[in-house]
Amino acid sequence: EIVLTQSPGTLSLSPGERATLSCRASQSVSRTSLAWYQQKPGQAPRLLIYGASSRATGIPDRFSGSGSGTDFTLTISRLEPEDFAVYYCQQYGSLPRTFGQGTKLEIK
């Protein structure tokens, strides 16, 4: 099983700032099969990024993903108020599909 570790656990930033979230895998994720999700309190997760760097339908271009192998990054270029949420990475290169523990992005 691939274990995903996200850092930091909590990130405190202000609207307009840049956010960089990290996801590290315990072994190489095949074919850059890495996705990012956003989850707000009481809501289901929403797919943001798949294939490590492709934005899902309707996702603003301030969200971008990068990385390969074991190290992946989600970047939000300029934070909007609605971006404060919990972000999860997920690998789908092998079974079982696994998620990271999440990074909480909070308003400073």
Partner 1 sequence: EVQLVESGGGLVQPGGSLRLSCAASGFSFSTYWMTWVRQAPGKRLEWVANIRQDENEKYYVDSVKGRFTISRDNAKNSLYLQMNSLRAEDTAVYYCATDHKGTFDYWGQGTLVTVSS
d(CA 59, CA 43): 17
Residue 59 contacts partner 1 per CB under 8 A: no
Residue 97 contacts partner 1 per CB under 8 A: yes
d(CA 37, CA 99): 10
Point out which span in 12-20, 58-66, 71-79, 100-108 binds partner 1 (CB under 8 A): 100-108
With respect to partner 1, which residue has the nearer C-beta, 79 or 98?
A: 98
With respect to partner 1, which residue has the nearer C-beta, 84 or 103?
A: 103
Q: Which of residues 18-57 bind partner 1 (CB under 8 A)?
A: 33, 35, 37, 39, 43-47, 50, 56
Q: What are phi and psi of 22, to 5 degrees?
A: -115, 150
Cis status, amide bond into 60, omega within 30 of 0: no
Residue 16's alpha-carbon distances to 12, 13, 74, 82, 94, in angstroms, are: 12, 9, 16, 12, 37
**What does the binding site for partner 1 look like in residue numbers (CB under 8 A)?**
33, 35, 37, 39, 43-47, 50, 56, 88, 90, 92-93, 95-102
